[in-house]
Chains A and B, each alone.
Chain A
């Protein structure tokens, strides 16, 4: 896959329902939470669903969500916390079944970009965790999967080779340069999909315990330009589809940065829209 023009990009944000995005001007004044998705789809063609991390997705709610978005729109859904952060030894396989059932409407409607497996910072590359991850990936097989590590012990060729063998996407993360955190890479382990998550580089707020501090970061134009270059030259030629999501939601910085990156990629593409514009 040499031609970057063959790669379809889905750019968006992690979640879309934030009251502060009205204050920041991304949503028009007076936008109600129930109308935010309608406004969001006018700017982006994909979104990460955060709420599926908090609660097991339910098929009827997913169906209703599918009906609200246009045909080309894609969802990336976070795997529920009971399968990543609060795993119960005897129950997790049942949880996978429930999760699959909840995701069924998205799969059927061909609106699922991938399942995002976001692992906790304490999830080190130990024997137990390796075994669990392998078992989890087996149970989820058949679904498009992307794995996000938050611990640098997973930076290992064997890990990347195994992900390649399974055609599972490694999530490239942009986060602060702090010891122990997964570094900023540009890796493609799955020719079907590459994936980037922009968390912001707020080193001071990262371990504050407050999301509002952790993800409070406004990417500088130069930082986005560097990423646009890397996306164009290193990632797009290697995969058929790309997912790029901004998680720095505080004060509407995520949609602002996402739109700017789209703009930069458009320029890099010589005016050719690199994402699947309707």
Chain B
């Protein structure tokens, strides 16, 4: 049978989180952007600010020229992440198949198989909306459809408030009159190309055969052909609690592009994560570093660590390369996040007469440091790297 996919979308998520902290801002135009940064761009804005012409990614200076009276708040990425985690907890009560964006208030749930337990999908969506509203004072738009694509179009259609149930079998008719820009996956370049052919709505684009689409869109043509017919077999990507991750964050009190401070902070974050890994007898496989610049832009770099490790120094060597890779701009950095994924137990079978290497010496040193810290506190002993440079605070 067809899938039942729910899309929950908290419109202007960052604004909604911030106005919950400062209720006096509710109903007013509001911009979320890093203040004080010379080339800051708008990270998010309220609906009222949108009506004033403010858009995501717009330079803050330009937004201010449009209306100087709109208050500007700095983004709090940690807060957004925490709220997303809280929302996720509620959704797991209904299905383990939940996919979420990165702190953006978007959640997809596949409830195809949970109908026998929790009832019709529309009722599950409605109940989640009520839970989000009563528990977090967040009011999501919701939709129910047979695929992520159609569900997303449906929420786009009713934004900033409302709900939409697209009946199974009704997908093609539902999409037919809509403008093409509502179809997820179509880029600006795709839309411009379609406009060149005077194609503006889904029904117009459907007149093209797959072969005709291939002339302009090559390998992407089959995808576009399916999308405009409401066909999207992509699964709701399972969030597996067993494949857990560990992460550490640091928000610089003063934005910085000082290499020493960045490396020192990175090492402290690695120490924090590796201690947890060692306590849980786990190793980290994949590592990801995300830098958030003063202007609201982010850059990320990922590395697979093979073999996996929980050794501070080994991980730092790898992460220092990640920092070099991710740090591509001259703009100062506001926030740094390190994520360790693919956690797994360490290899227990050690060699009987293994020669002493640099890594085994480091491991012995770290074990000794752990013992000292366990007894006398974390500050009792520190790596030399963390003693240099200016003091930073979270």
Contact = CB atoms under 8 A, between A and B. Distances in A.
B163 A212 contact: no
Given A32-B2, A34-B169, A212-B117, A54 B112 contact: no
Contacts of B162: 55
Interface stretch (A16-24, A130-138, A161-169): A16-24
Nearest to A35: B169
B1 to A, nearest CB: 5
Interface string B311-340: 000000000000000000000000000000
B1 A32 contact: yes
Contacts of A20: 115-116
Contacts of B122: 50-51, 54-55
Contacts of B174: 61
A61 B171 CA distance: 10
Interface in B160-208: 162-165, 167-170, 173-174, 177
A266 B111 CA distance: 39
Given A33-B169, A61-B170, A210 B118 contact: yes
B123 interface: yes
B123 A211 contact: yes
Contacts of B112: 19
A33 B168 contact: yes
A64 interface: yes
B120 A50 contact: yes
Nearest to A27: B1
B126 interface: yes
A51 B170 CA distance: 14
Interface string B114-131: 011111101101100000
A70 interface: no
Contacts of B168: 17, 32-34, 36
Contact of B1 (A22, A51, A60, A61): A22
A212 B119 CA distance: 6
B1 A33 contact: yes
A31 B120 CA distance: 16
A15 interface: yes
B142 to A, nearest CB: 9
B146 interface: yes
Given A18-B115, A33-B2, A211 B120 contact: yes
A259 B171 CA distance: 31
Most A-side CB within 10 Å, residue of B118, B119, B123, B165:
B119
Contacts of A22: 1
A31 B177 CA distance: 28
Interface string A54-66: 1100001100110
A51 B169 CA distance: 15
A116 B1 CA distance: 30
Contacts of B126: 54
Nearest to A214: B119
Nearest to B122: A54
Which of B163, B164, B169, B177 has the most chain A CB atoms closer than 10 A to its own CB? Answer: B169
Contact of A210 (B4, B119, B167, B170): B119
A207 B125 CA distance: 20
A51 B112 CA distance: 17
Contacts of A35: 169
Interface in B130-177: 146, 162-165, 167-170, 173-174, 177
A154 B177 CA distance: 45
A51 B126 CA distance: 11
B115 A19 contact: yes
Nearest to A38: B169
Given A30-B1, A33-B2, 5 more contacts: A15-B120, A32-B168, A34-B167, A60-B173, A212-B119
8 contacts: A15-B120, A18-B120, A30-B1, A32-B169, A33-B2, A33-B4, A55-B163, A61-B174
